[in-house]
């Protein structure tokens, strides 16, 4: 049989059964999407294919022959390349150094043949329409270019199967389009592509067939032309939900202003930003990557100082020199990257939940019993799926980790919650739950400022939308009347 077949692949990590006998075929030369909630087993399955994880049982067959995948090297040698979600590059090496890392072209006695590697790199980059030099240091490249260097690395060595794990998480629309054009060309060359993503619009744009995994099991493989995103979501979560549905809310007109920002400037990130958030209001801050959104939130939170402009909280002028002051005043920030900025993987869920320093029992001593009670209550309130409060956070799925990062602030009862990409890398079911939790906080009078680069998220959540482009506010739209087009027009400055 031509193509690739997964045949009864099983894998357990301790007591967790990540893959429970997954079988499905991938036709040679097709672009095949793999979707499912976080924890469904997509990444594990792809790691098996890339030789990183060795399955407990089952086999993989390529063109009728059983694949021997005992190491990443073995997978590469058989033409299986993977582009990882997290950047697995050497920032200190050049582009050509990265592409040939571990597989350098050498002459006598192991001497590196730099000119040849550089030349081959240049040819590859040209093929990908990448306007970077083979000698450029990878650390100096943009995220998108780094992503493409990873693809170049996979392609440098006769790659027949290319796995892409959430490749567009950090890319702008334009960069995504560029990537898709490259993937189209690869497909025409006969490369089999396996595309792992949460973004169903991309999946439908790119892929011929879609395989859905749920809880480590194969739910089904569908022809993209004969199904709809809604059907796919239903088979992913096992129930019918529409994450983009707008939940109507009203904010009383007399609700007091919690945060008001005037002419705030921190070059080169943002300039002359003015906005306000009222109690109980969800304000969406929309802008493309690089529009200065995260930097604005981090400045509001006291991580950086603004160069000019004023900020007032509950009517009083404030100026935060540190996050500690911001927290004391009543702000909380849920940062964009939960792994890097939000979680402590050496501490239990309980300790993560009670950490924000200002709200422990006393100023110094920790009250163990109260801590256990509070964290237990937060786990229940926020429906965090965990083996218990003493479990380490890396045993949780992405969506539940994100809930921990959000829930840890609520013991401090902030009056303004700053959320930076609150559902980044989170599956559909958890996304819907997180939106619901944000709305519930707002209903209790908390002001929320939500940054997102996902338009459907902003449209479904926000009572008012502030659009940012290149660090400047482009306009405000009431949430009820907004649609994709009106917001996007402001964000991209296209006038029709």
Partner 1 sequence: MNARLQSLWKTRELSTLFVLALEVAFFTWYLWPEGDRAHPFFNLGNGVLILKYSSLYGIAAIGAAMVIISGGVDLAPGAVMALAGVVTGHLFAIQGYPLSVGVAAGIFTGLLSGILSAMLVVLVNLPPFIATLGVMGIARGIAFIITEGRFFDLSSRLPAGWKPFGLPADWLAPIVLVVLAAVFQYLMQRFQWGRAIFAIGGNETAALFSGIRVGKVKASVYIVAAVLASLSGVILVVIQGQGRADLATGYELDIIASAVVGGASLTGGRGSVVGAVLGTLIFGVLRNALPQIPGATFYDRLIVGVVVVVIVVVDQFIARKGA
**Bridge partners of 82?**
163
Tokens of 213: 């995994």
Tell me whether residue 6 or residue 409 sits nearer to partner 1 (CB atom): 409
The CA distance from 205 to 382, in Å, is: 35
Question: Site for partner 1 (CB under 8 A): which residue of 148, 163, 264, 326?
Answer: 326
How far apart CA 19 and CA 9 sit, in angstroms, is: 7
Q: Does 327 bind partner 1 (CB under 8 A)?
A: yes
Torsion sign, CA atoms 44, 46, 47, 53: positive
Residue 157 binding partner 1, by CB under 8 A: no
Task: Work out which of 112, 324, 387, 480 binds partner 1, going by CB under 8 A.
Answer: 324
Residue 323 binding partner 1, by CB under 8 A: yes
Phi, psi of 43 (to 5 degrees): -65, -40
Sequence length of the chain is: 496
The per-residue b/e assignment along 467-492, b for 16 or more CB within 10 angstroms, e otherwise, is: bbbebebbeebebeebeeeebeebbe
Q: Which of 56, 345, 370, 388 binds partner 1 (CB under 8 A)?
A: 345
Among positions 274-303, residues that touch partner 1 (CB under 8 A) are 301, 303
Choose the stretch contacting partner 1; rule: CB under 8 A; options: 179-187, 200-208, 223-231, 351-359.
Answer: 351-359
Q: How far is the CB of 16 from partner 1 (least distance, A)?
A: 11
- The reply to whether 268 sits near partner 1 by the rule CB under 8 A is no
353 binds partner 1 (CB under 8 A): no
Peptide bond into 268 cis (omega under 30): yes
Among 346, 373, 383, 436, binds partner 1 (CB under 8 A): 346
**Which of the ranges 116-124, 181-189, 253-261, 339-347 carries the binding residues for partner 1, by CB under 8 A?**
339-347
Applying CB under 8 A, does 340 fall inside the site for partner 1? yes
Q: Which stretch of DSSP H or E encloses residue 404?
A: helix 398-410
Beta bridge partners of 163: 82, 194
Could you say which of 272, 344, 483, 485 contacts partner 1 (CB under 8 A)?
344
Least Å from the CB of residue 405 to partner 1: 9
In the block, tokens 């045993």 appear at: 395
- For residue 327, CA distances in Å to 277, 295, 322, 346, 420 come to 17, 17, 9, 24, 16
Residue 373 lies near partner 1 (rule: CB under 8 A): no
Residues in contact with partner 1 by the rule CB under 8 A: 14, 301, 303, 322-324, 326-327, 333, 335, 340-347, 351, 355-358, 360, 363-366, 368, 408
């Amino acid at each position: 049989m031509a193509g690739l077949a997964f045949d009864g692949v099983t894998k357990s990590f301790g007591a967790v059964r990540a893959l429970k006998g997954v079988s499905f075929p991938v036709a040679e030369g097709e672009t095949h999407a793999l979707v499912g909630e976080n924890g469904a087993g997509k990444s594990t399955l792809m790691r098996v294919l890339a030789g990183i994880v060795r399955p407990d049982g089952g086999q993989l067959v390529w063109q009728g022959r059983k694949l021997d995948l005992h190491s990443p090297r073995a997978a590469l040698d058989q033409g299986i390349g993977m582009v990882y979600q997290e950047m697995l590059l050497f920032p200190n090496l050049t582009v050509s150094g990265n592409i040939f890392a571990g597989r350098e072209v050498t002459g006598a006695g192991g001497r590196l043949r730099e000119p040849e590697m550089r030349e081959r790199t240049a040819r590859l980059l040209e093929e990908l329409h990448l306007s970077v030099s083979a000698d450029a240091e990878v650390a100096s490249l943009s995220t998108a270019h780094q992503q493409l260097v990873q693809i170049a690395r996979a392609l440098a060595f006769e790659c027949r199967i290319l796995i892409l794990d959430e490749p567009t998480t950090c890319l702008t629309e334009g960069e995504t389009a560029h990537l898709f054009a490259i993937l189209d060309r690869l497909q025409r060359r006969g490369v089999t592509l396996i595309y792992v993503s949460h973004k169903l619009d991309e999946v439908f744009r790119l892929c011929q067939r879609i395989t859905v995994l749920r809880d480590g099991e194969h739910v089904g493989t569908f022809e993209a032309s004969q199904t709809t995103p809604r059907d796919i979501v239903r088979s992913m979560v096992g129930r019918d939900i529409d994450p983009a549905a707008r939940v109507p809310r009203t904010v009383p007109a007399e609700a007091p202003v919690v945060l008001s920002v005037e002419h705030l400037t921190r070059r080169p990130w943002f300039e002359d930003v003015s906005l306000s958030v009222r109690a109980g209001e969800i304000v969406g801050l929309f802008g493309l990557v690089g529009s200065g959104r995260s930097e604005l939130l981090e400045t509001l939170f006291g991580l950086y100082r603004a160069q000019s402009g004023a900020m007032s909280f509950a009517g009083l002028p404030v100026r935060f020199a540190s996050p500690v002051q911001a927290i004391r005043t009543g702000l909380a920030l849920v940062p964009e990257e939960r792994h890097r900025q939000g979680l402590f993987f050496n501490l239990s869920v309980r300790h993560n939940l009670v950490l924000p320093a200002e709200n422990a029992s006393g100023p110094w001593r920790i009250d163990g019993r109260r801590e256990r009670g509070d964290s237990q209550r937060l786990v229940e309130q926020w429906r965090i799926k965990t083996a218990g409060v003493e479990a380490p956070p890396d045993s949780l799925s992405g969506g539940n980790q994100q809930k921990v990062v959000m829930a840890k602030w609520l013991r401090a009862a902030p009056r303004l919650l700053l959320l930076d990409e609150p559902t980044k890398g989170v599956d559909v079911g958890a996304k819907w739950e997180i939106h619901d939790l944000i709305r519930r906080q707002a209903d209790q009078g908390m002001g929320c400022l939500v940054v997102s680069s996902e338009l459907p998220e902003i449209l479904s959540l926000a009572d008012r939308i502030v659009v940012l482009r290149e660090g400047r506010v482009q306009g405000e739209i009431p949430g009820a009347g907004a649609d994709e087009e009106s917001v996007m027009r402001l964000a991209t400055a296209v006038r029709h």
